[in-house]
Amino acid sequence: MPNIPQVGVFDTSFHTTIPDYANTYPGPYLWKELGIKRFGFHGINYEYCSARCSVLLKKDEFKTVCCHLGNGSSIAAIDHTHSIDTSMGFTPLEGLMMGSRCGSIDPGIILFLEQQYHQSPEEIFKTLNYESGLKGISGSSNDMRDIIDLCSKNDPRAKLSFEMYVYSVKRNIGAMIGILNGFNTLIFTAGIGENSALIRQKVCQGLQHVGVIIDEQKNLSCSGDKLISSGCSSIDILVVKAQEDWCIAHKISEMRSNGLL
């Protein structure tokens, strides 16, 4: 279709505001010169969620920890509409434990597998991307619905994978609160974040000391975009339905208005 304009909207663009000290890996400086850096992903949805947050909370000054919890999961620290840091990195493998991706692990494990078990780069790629995370630990499924179901049947590996996932989200929320210089909004988005009241409840449990208090009733009855924090929570807790498609369409519409298409 040579006459149809093609537009690329990158999932990484939103994260170009991450400062150098946060997007540079502490390897040799050559890595930086080779372009190895933290790109971050899920940027289209993070951009959408921060715009939506402005509308729903009717405020412009927000410092947000946004949890994109889907089959691929990541967390971003957003200062108003600027990404300050995010958990995914050079590839979507870094950060949180995910459906079948491992998230952050000691890179020494990879060397150990190569040296002691003679695993090839292809085998390790497959393991890290498709045989790890919820699926790897539970041995059953990468789908949180199955994991929750198996937990109710007391499956020990599913229980461990569930606890590890919640722990991984909380640990990363803590890291993002630490670098935001203020924190007033927590967002849950994507398949797990939008649909699992149990995960939202478990993640918020124990975060009262940083002002995160969930309203159990609002959390349980949540559908669509909704504020689920209790009246005494100093942090607004929002559920936002991921809408990358809307955000992409909006960008294209802007380009048309500006005569670029």
* Residue 79 designated active-site: no
- Which window, 113-121, 151-159, 186-194, 243-251, contacts ligand AMP (CB under 6 A)? 186-194
For ligand AMP, give the closer residue by CB, 113 or 197. 197
Crossing angle for the helix pair 197-204 and 156-179, to the nearest 10 degrees: 60
- The first and second tokens of residue 189, run together, are 């988005």
> Taking CB under 6 A as the rule, which mask of x and - marks residues 25-64 in contact with ligand AMP?
----------------------------------------
70 vs 92, beta carbon nearer ligand AMP = 70
Query: Hey, what's the torsion of the CAs at 199, 97, 92, 44, to 10 degrees?
Result: 10
Q: Which of 92, 99, 103, 136 binds ligand AMP (CB under 6 A)?
A: 99
Among 71, 129, 201, 230, binds ligand AMP (CB under 6 A): 71
Within 139-178, the residues that bind ligand AMP by CB under 6 A are 143-145
- Is the Cβ of residue 64 or residue 189 nearer to ligand AMP in the bound state? 189
Segment contacting ligand AMP by CB under 6 A, of 57-65, 70-78, 151-159, 211-219: 70-78
Q: Of the residues 11, 79, 85, 155, which is catalytic? A: 11
- Taking the complex as a whole, the smallest distance from the CB of residue 147 to ligand AMP amounts, in Å, to 8
State the binding string over 225-244 for ligand AMP (x if CB under 6 A, else -): -----------------x--
Q: Among residues 89 and 191, whose Cβ is nearest to ligand AMP?
A: 191
Quote the CA–CA distance of 43 and 13 in Å, as a whole number. 7
Stretch that binds ligand AMP, among 59-67, 137-145, 212-220, 222-230 (CB under 6 A): 137-145
Closest CB 44 distance from ligand AMP, rounded Å:
12
Contact between 70 and ligand AMP per CB under 6 A: yes
Q: Would you say 229 and 26 are in contact if contact means Cβ atoms under 8 Å apart?
A: no
One DSSP character per residue, the chain reads -TTS------TTGGGGGS-HHHHB-SS-HHHHHTT-B---S-HHHHHHHHHHHHHHHT-S--EEEEEEESSSEEEEEEETTEEEEES--SSTTSSS--SS---S--THHHHHHHHHH---HHHHHHHHHHSSHHHHHHSS-S-HHHHHHHHHTT-HHHHHHHHHHHHHHHHHHHHHHHHSSS--EEEEEHHHHHH-HHHHHHHHTT-GGGT--B-HHHHHT--SSEE-B-TT-SSEEEEE---HHHHHHHHHHHHHHTT--
If one asks whether residue 222 binds ligand AMP (CB under 6 A), the answer comes out as: no
Q: Minimum Å distance from CB 24 to ligand AMP?
A: 29
Contact set with ligand AMP (CB under 6 A): 70-72, 99, 143-145, 190-192, 195-196, 242
Residues assigned a catalytic role: 11
